[in-house]
Structure 1
Amino acid sequence: MGRLKIMADNKELVAKLQELYPQGKITCSEARDIAAKLNIALGDMGELCDLAGIKICACELGCF
């Protein structure tokens, strides 16, 4: 997807994450799956979750 595209789309991505995870939590596995589907780095996924106010829980690999 590329960093510039992520930056341009982050409002929509943040809103979608908030819609999908209204409880404010996402598992590490779910976050990694979403990052893979969007073709973004795990660090970028972590930043998106931070922007959305979503905590990554049940971390398996220490990626976030």
Structure 2
Amino acid sequence: MDRKQIDEIVIKAADNNKLSCSKAHELAKEHKISLKEVGAAADRLNIKLFACQLGCF
């Protein structure tokens, strides 16, 4: 999967430029991509991660 496809997936999943940590995990599993790729896409697109399962965000 290329960068543009990953960006599109993250954009569609984001709500009001926000993406929950659990949703990021779901996307990675569903699309067989790494969490690092999901996080990098969110960074590129200025989408904020929230509700971190580790309490980091």
Q: TM class by shorter-chain length?
A: 0.7 to 0.9
User: Which TM-score applies when normalising by structure 2?
Assistant: 0.74
**1:63 Cα deviation after fit:** 8.3
Q: Which runs of 4+ in 1 moved over 3 A?
A: none
Long gaps (5+) in structure 1: none
Long gaps (5+) in structure 2: none
Aligned residues: percent identity? 33
* 2: CA distance, partners of 1:16 / 1:32: 13
User: Which TM-score applies when normalising by structure 1?
Assistant: 0.68
Q: CA RMSD in A?
A: 2.3
